Structure 1
Amino acid sequence: MSSGVRGGGTLERTGAPLLGVAFILVLGTFMASLDATIVAVGIDTLVEEFDASVADIQWVTTAYLLAIVTVMPMSGWLADRFGGRRTWLTAVAVFLLGSVACAVAWSVPSLVVFRVLQGLGGGLLPPTGQALLARVAGPERIGRIISVVSVVPLLSPVLGPLIGGSILSVAEWPWLFLVNIPIGLVAMVLAWRYVPVVAPTDRSAPFDVRGAMLLPPGLAVLVFGLTELADTGQGGTFDVAIVALAVGVGMLVAFGVHGMRSRRPALLDVRLFTRPPFGAAATALLAVAASVFGTMFLLPLFLQAGRGLSAWEAGLLLAPQGVGAAVGALVVSRIIGQFAPRTLVLTGMALIAIGTVPFTQLPDLGDGVIAVALLVRGMGSALIGAPTMNIVYSRIEATQTARASSALNLMHYVGGSLGTAVLAVVLQTRLSAEGVDVTSAFAGCFWWVLGLCVVAALWAVRLPRRVERARSS
């Protein structure tokens, strides 16, 4: 039995119980990731229901994202202090409480407050679930199992609008939140019964008060600035965005200095980024998240504004990316131990680039080409996430797993926000330029997506060139 794991002896002998644990934990990640995008298609419905402006209703999405990035850095300390399973179960309970509260919200301010509560639970689920799974699986088997669960964050921006559109076509808006209840309750019951207890790594670890005053607020202000920048021209203010970005970056730099100088463990271990290959892997994930989420911001807008499709029709056309991600996950689960991480990641980035090129020619693009391009992009995304996380989890010390997971997931969310904001500003600039039609403006933005692929590749070349066997747990 792995050190620190109780009640999970069978997991060492067969893969079936481990797959069951992975399925249970991934339900939490699925809820949290899906809820970041499922509400997007309900903006118009909420505007009408609450008689509010689009700018006011956008805070329903922004508040959730801000809560996630605020609480996510704390997930490592919470798991180390109270144990992974207990932290995960508590996070699910908070998330479900927030979901019920959102469904009974009576005004925009109340809905925003309840979305913050929901985000505080949702922000803990992905990093805590991944760290717990890595501890249970051990370094020898984490590669194959992470290739399956890592597909979930890739599916959420695809499935969110599709599921949200489906719900609103047959039910009222509260069901955008109530849909989480049966999933969450099933996950809690199964986790209580089947997920092993992983002993806390350090119950005496002091809470980093100074870090908590710098990192979570700094991230929240940074993401607010990115969101405000993305909404410039639709309620957002450019000057406010710039000030928020400057303050957010300043607080993060101050936290970085604090983290490097502190003798005690910081809220987020910034020293991890100086240890190869963690720094390269985390930065590559940030750039890839910017590309994936940026594309899933652009395409639904183009399909609805440029081609006049409904939210349901646009979501259906985006589904091939999810199919590609699922197929890619199955492929990488079989070959992850046979090829070097750098080979797999660069291949995935090449596939994303190939799948992006057709979108630079949008005026001449048919639905069939869009579907094939998205299928290729989905497969490429699956070849990136699993190998990068595998190389981190298989080489990191068991006591650092929770904090490493917190950092990786944080980079994923910040990367998605960064990519969306940058592409939104580029799109606004192109749409306001003289002589540029809507389709050409969107097509020009995808050259920036290709640029993000290049940035990610420049970091990915620093990943290991050889296949190395995982160390013994």
Structure 2
Amino acid sequence: MSSNERFDARLLATIAVVLLGGLLGILNSTMAAVATGTLASAFGTSLSVIGWASTGFLLAVTATIPFTTWAVDRYGGKRLWIAGLTIFLAGSLAAGLAWDVGSLIAFRVLQGVGAGLLDPLVLILLARAAGPSRAGRVMGLMGVVLSLGPVLGPIAGGAILGTLTWRAMFLISVVVGAVALLLALRVLPRDEAGRGGGPRLDVVGLALLGPGFAAVVLALSQTAEQGAFAVWQVLLPFVVGGVLLIGYAVHARKASPLIDLRLFANRGFSASVTIMGLGGMGLFSALFALPLYYQQAHGHGVLAAGLLMAPVGLGGSIAMPLAGRLSDRLGARGLATGGAIVAVVSAFALTRVGADTPEVWPALAAFTIGLGSGFFSAPTMGSLYRTLPPPMVAQGSSVLYMLNQLGAALGVALVTIVIQSAADVITGFRGIFWLAVAANVIVLAVIPLLPGRPGAQAPVRDELARTP
């Protein structure tokens, strides 16, 4: 076996182990969302109170991501990955044994801290292992997890709740997580750096950026819960988050900020994170809206609606590895343009669906919207990592993940507003997909700003050097 083949085997093993850990957090989060009604009944509380089990998880993830940016270089990727898995496992076990709603919310927050370490690390570890020449194909494999996770979660959650208790959802995560932990200890390469060196923690930046993003995400979550923007539950966290983020922008002018905002001086980087944020908004709108359509317009149960959602994930899981691999040779622009056009047409087709439309047609449109999203997402992520010099991979990954989270939260908030303000289910459903059309049209307009063919783009380090 040649050295290249041995490297490829090690790389494939690393990818598999990292993706297993990444899938764990997504599945657990989406399964818990399906169980909201069951959990409210089990603890004798309201849906609004039990909703904090999911909201607390999301806020903990968002607030922890900026810390991961610094810690991965300070302590090393493998050490931080093991720590994240351990924290997530502890939170999962404790959540499965929760005795009241307060303990459940607290343990879900602990899970969120673990996931906040793992989620950006998935991107960081894969990008570093693959290198610029293989960024597209590896990000395409990552896209399989991003595509299937939100679809498999509701299906798995519905199946578990139909046969077992709610505690099984969290305890199954312990079993899968233990396997992921053992494999990570054996397979992930030893850290070459991260033995106490690296820059000092930007404590002020961490105190501003993490809570600032978390407050904005909380505002969007409250928008979905309250069904309106102009209420204090939304405006207060939004104002607090805005002030903290503005404070971080002022603070980031110092020499070594947690995340260097000069990253955005690079046109390709800014275009990439914008596309992924808008793509996340459009895709999560579809993932949120389709189950409601199948349940309210066709009378299907949770499990059947989840199965009918599967074409979205199937389309993405087919498109992303193929598009990612091609982008390593052809570049991102052409593939992403074709994908965005397919996504726009597919979302438009879903605006034509009515209550009497046979399920095969929205399922087919959902499949093609997954294909289209996959064809612009994987090349976009690949191009982003080809522009980033190694020292900036952690920062770029954190920015990408936070903006994707923000786009998803905004998508869910807008979906909720549209549904609650619509005259009927079908009108609301069509309005949601007009939003998806608009998001994908903007994606299509931004794609020309992506870097050209591999090797032709100016790296971010050049932009940083030119920017005072």
TM-score, normalising length: structure 1: 0.92
Taking the aligned partners of 1:454 and 1:257, their CA distance within structure 2 comes to: 33
User: One-letter code of the match for 1:402?
Assistant: A
Q: Which is worse superposed, 61-70 or 36-45?
A: 36-45
Taking the aligned partners of 1:268 and 1:83, their CA distance within structure 2 comes to: 18
Offset at residue 355 of structure 1 (A): 1.7
Which of 154, 158, 177 is equivalent to 1:161? 154
Contact 2:415 2:432 in 1 (8 A): yes
- The residue aligned with 1:101 is 94
- The residue aligned with 2:421 is 429
- The residue aligned with 1:361 is 352
Taking the aligned partners of 1:137 and 1:193, their CA distance within structure 2 comes to: 19
- The residue aligned with 2:303 is 312
Which of 187, 193, 199 is equivalent to 1:194? 187
- The residue aligned with 1:420 is 412
Offset at residue 456 of structure 1 (A): 2.1
Residue 134 (1) aligns with residue 121 (2): no
Q: Which is worse superposed, 137-146 or 72-81?
A: 137-146
Instruction: Give a deviation string over 1:142-185, Cα, whole Å, max 9, x none.
Output: 22122111221222221111111011111100111112122211
Which of 255, 260, 263 is equivalent to 1:269? 260
Q: How does 1:235-384 map to 2 (within 5 A)?
A: 238-259=231-252, 261-264=253-256, 266-363=257-354, 364-384=356-376
Over the residues paired in the alignment, what is the CA RMSD in angstroms? 2.1
- The residue aligned with 1:396 is 388
- The residue aligned with 1:458 is 445
Taking the aligned partners of 1:186 and 1:107, their CA distance within structure 2 comes to: 28
Instruction: Give a deviation string over 1:337-365, Cα, whole Å, max 9, x none.
Output: 33231212222211211221222122153
Contact 2:140 2:325 in 1 (8 A): no
Offset at residue 321 of structure 1 (A): 1.3
User: One-letter code of the match for 1:415?
Assistant: G
Q: How does 1:433-452 map to 2 (within 5 A)?
A: 436-452=423-439
Pair 1:101–1:437, CA change in 2 (3 A): same
Instruction: Give a deviation string over 1:172-210, Cα, whole Å, max 9, x none.
Output: 001111121222111111111111123336823111111
Taking the aligned partners of 1:32 and 1:158, their CA distance within structure 2 comes to: 13
Runs of 4+ in structure 1 off by over 6 angstroms are 469-472
3-state SS of paired residue (2:353): helix
User: What's the % identity of the aligned pairs?
Assistant: 35
Taking the aligned partners of 2:28 and 2:443, their CA distance within structure 1 comes to: 27
- The residue aligned with 1:6 is none
Contact 2:56 2:105 in 1 (8 A): yes
Offset at residue 122 of structure 1 (A): 0.6
Contact 1:75 1:403 in 2 (8 A): no
Taking the aligned partners of 2:363 and 2:207, their CA distance within structure 1 comes to: 45
Taking the aligned partners of 1:357 and 1:237, their CA distance within structure 2 comes to: 30
Offset at residue 420 of structure 1 (A): 1.1
3-state SS of paired residue (2:375): helix
User: One-letter code of the match for 2:24?
Assistant: M
Contact 1:92 1:125 in 2 (8 A): yes
Taking the aligned partners of 1:65 and 1:137, their CA distance within structure 2 comes to: 29
Taking the aligned partners of 1:200 and 1:341, their CA distance within structure 2 comes to: 32
User: How many residues matched?
Assistant: 456
3-state SS of paired residue (2:132): coil
Which of 161, 165, 174 is equivalent to 1:172? 165
Taking the aligned partners of 1:204 and 1:438, their CA distance within structure 2 comes to: 54
Taking the aligned partners of 2:404 and 2:16, their CA distance within structure 1 comes to: 21
Pair 1:233–1:150, CA change in 2 (3 A): closer
Taking the aligned partners of 1:11 and 1:225, their CA distance within structure 2 comes to: 49
User: One-letter code of the match for 1:123?
Assistant: G
Contact 1:320 1:375 in 2 (8 A): yes
Pair 1:333–1:452, CA change in 2 (3 A): closer
Residue 228 (1) aligns with residue 222 (2): yes
Taking the aligned partners of 1:267 and 1:126, their CA distance within structure 2 comes to: 18
Taking the aligned partners of 1:238 and 1:303, their CA distance within structure 2 comes to: 31
3-state SS of paired residue (1:163): helix
- The residue aligned with 1:148 is 141
Taking the aligned partners of 1:289 and 1:128, their CA distance within structure 2 comes to: 19
3-state SS of paired residue (1:199): coil
Q: Which is worse superposed, 14-23 or 156-165?
A: 14-23
Taking the aligned partners of 1:232 and 1:138, their CA distance within structure 2 comes to: 45
Pair 1:471–1:465, CA change in 2 (3 A): closer
Offset at residue 233 of structure 1 (A): 4.7
Taking the aligned partners of 1:331 and 1:103, their CA distance within structure 2 comes to: 38
User: One-letter code of the match for 1:96?
Assistant: L
Structure with the largest fraction of helix: 2
Instruction: Give a deviation string over 1:132-151, Cα, whole Å, max 9, x none.
Output: 22222222222212211122
Instruction: Give a deviation string over 1:34-64, Cα, whole Å, max 9, x none.
Output: 2221112111111110011111111111111
Taking the aligned partners of 1:442 and 1:142, their CA distance within structure 2 comes to: 36
- The residue aligned with 1:433 is none
3-state SS of paired residue (1:52): coil
3-state SS of paired residue (2:267): coil
User: One-letter code of the match for 2:419?
Assistant: L
